[in-house]
Amino acid sequence: MSSHSVPPTPEGSGGSRDQTMVWVTLVRVFPPDDIIIESLLRSQEIPYRIERNAISQIPLSVGPYAETVIKVPQEWETEALRLLEPVPEQAEGEPGTAPDN
């Protein structure tokens, strides 16, 4: 884990460092993927921002209006992308897999 983390908070990481960071788009997702990714970033103490399309007349976001943009500081992009890589499946018979009965 990196030693220069900014503790994240829901909907973004606050503080004065926000003004000097270059934020890049990590992913564009729809619920519930946004909650899962937010949890992953928070667990690894990676700073993030979440941008949602808020429409005050519609209390529930659906369809294209539910899109969420998750951003991270450019210096954290590689580490954040690594978190989102799929876990490779183990082939049958490899250590750690259950035998078929």
CB 8 within 8 A of CB 52: no
Asked if residue 22 has pLDDT above 80, the reply is: yes
Q: Under CATH, to which class is 16-84 assigned?
A: alpha beta
User: Could you tell me the sign of the dihedral formed by the alpha carbons of 28, 34, 37, 38, in that order?
Assistant: positive
Residue 73 scores a pLDDT above 90: yes
Q: Delimit the domains of the chain by residue range.
A: 16-84
Q: How far apart are CA 58 and CA 65, in angstroms?
A: 10
Upper half-sphere CA count for residue 61 (Cβ side, 13 Å): 15
pTM: 0.65
Span 24-33, average pLDDT = 93
Average pLDDT, the chain: 77
